[in-house]
Amino acid sequence: MRTLRLLTTGAPALVLALTACTAAGQDGGGAAPTVQTPTTAPVPDAPLTATAWTVRSVAGTTAPADREARFTLTPEGQASGTLGCNRFTAPVTVDGTTVAFGPVTSTRMACEGTAGEVERALTTLFGAGPLTWKVRGGTLTLTAADGSTATAEAASAAE
């Protein structure tokens, strides 16, 4: 009974609302209907600290997808993650637009191929002294004084 009552009272209101909407666009006197095109929101800049960063390239070498280098910087001044093969930790200091990694401590597994190249280049970059950092659209760029760079992508919320 209750469902029937809702259908009989709600249906006429819906018909009136739809008729009013379509009539306004057809009589020529009303403004043409506006079509809203969904826009893609820009990717917000991720914070440098407390974000999981996945290295995409370092010193001109593209990181292999099967041996990802990842790292996170904590607000308390600690960096940790994987260099591609080996896990690492290091003290880190963020000062404005620069970040400086202290001595890197890592496991000692042998790394060959591109993963080994990325690991060596990333370790060298981390040890190169203060790096300039910037985040744009979810991508972190670290730049050493000699111009060598690393790019890393912020992990999605689902990761």
pLDDT band for 156, please (50, 70, 90 cuts). Answer: low
CA–CA gap between residue 59 and residue 37 (Å, rounded): 40
pLDDT band for 109, please (50, 70, 90 cuts). Answer: very high
pLDDT digits (tens, 9 = 90+) for 1-53: 444 444 444 444 434 444 444 444 444 455 555 555 455 555 568 999 999 99
Q: What average pLDDT does the chain have? A: 81
The answer, yes or no, to whether residue 124 has pLDDT greater than 60, is: yes
